Structure 1
Amino acid sequence: MVAPGPRPDADQAAELHPATHDFLKALANPTRQKVMLLFAQGAELSVNEVAEQAGISQPTASQQLALLRRGGILASRRDGKVVLYCSNKEGVAAALADLQAYLGVCC
């Protein structure tokens, strides 16, 4: 996720950064919310581990992880042939800051 930049004026603050839209979309699904909780204690998990622990199929886990990564909630790294996922606190903080700035202008 690209971190939203500083907002120089109110007109720009009245629009959410596209990455923040992806963040909100990622939060809007009960399956993704369940998957997010697997990473609460700093876990680093593969797609297969997520599928097993969340009780979902591997293709579903892969799709949900991709959306969470696009939303900046998770980060990934490759370890040989395996992709490992972990929480992305910086991405979440950036999206929340953008959302807070937006809400400060509109509400």
Structure 2
Amino acid sequence: MSDPVIDQAAGTTCGPDADTPGCGATEPVQLGPQAREFLRALASEQRQQMLELFTGGIELTVGTVAERLGIAQPTASQQLALLRRGGLLISRKHGKQVYYRIDTAAVERSLTELQTYLHTCCPPPDEHNP
């Protein structure tokens, strides 16, 4: 038997036989705009490499990211902006420097939305009824 999926936006629980609006194949399932931006941000191998630099919750400036990856500072700035727009990074300004770090809470929200989407649109097969 499949685990029920909770549609957090609508506050509904969807099971394998649920006729609740937003559940099953009766209504199309869509990702929210933030989850789409999250996936776009992760679509680039270079941005994935950038994320690895922030392991352990450290903060880095654009210049440091550019130096560590061997890329131009404007390129690093553009890529960091896409990661921030995707909810993967947050920034804070200290003097003239902007420091970036992983936005753990936003990443968790996006992953939860993605998991809900996948369970709703493409539920795993019932273990007892393949």
Letter of the 1:54 partner, please give it: L
What is aligned with 1:6?
A: 8
TM-score (norm 2): 0.74
Q: Which has the larger radius of gyration?
A: 2
For 1:43 and 1:52, how far apart are their aligned partners in 2? 16
The correspondence of residues 16-95 of structure 1 with structure 2, limited to 5 A, is 16-95=31-110
Give the C-alpha shift of residue 39 in structure 1. Answer: 0.3
Higher helix share: 1
Helix, strand or coil for the counterpart of 1:94?
A: helix
Runs of 4+ in 1 over 2 A off after TM superposition: none
Aligned-residue offset at 1:14:
1.6
The verdict on how the C-alpha distance between 1:70 and 1:13 changes in structure 2, with shifts beyond 3 A counting, is: farther
> How far apart are 1:7 and its partner, in Å?
2.1
Q: Give the gaps of 5 or more residues in structure 1.
A: none
RMSD of aligned alpha carbons? 1.8
3-state SS, counterpart of residue 90 of structure 2: strand
State the distance in 1 between where 2:47 and 2:104 align.
Answer: 16
Which of 62-71 and 7-16 deviates more? Answer: 7-16
Cα distance per residue 1:29-55 (max 9 Å; x no partner):
011011000001211000000000111
What are structure 2's unaligned runs of at least 5 residues?
1-6, 13-21, 123-130
- The residue number in structure 1 matching 2:18 is none
- Deviation at 1:56? 0.9
Percent identity, please: 49
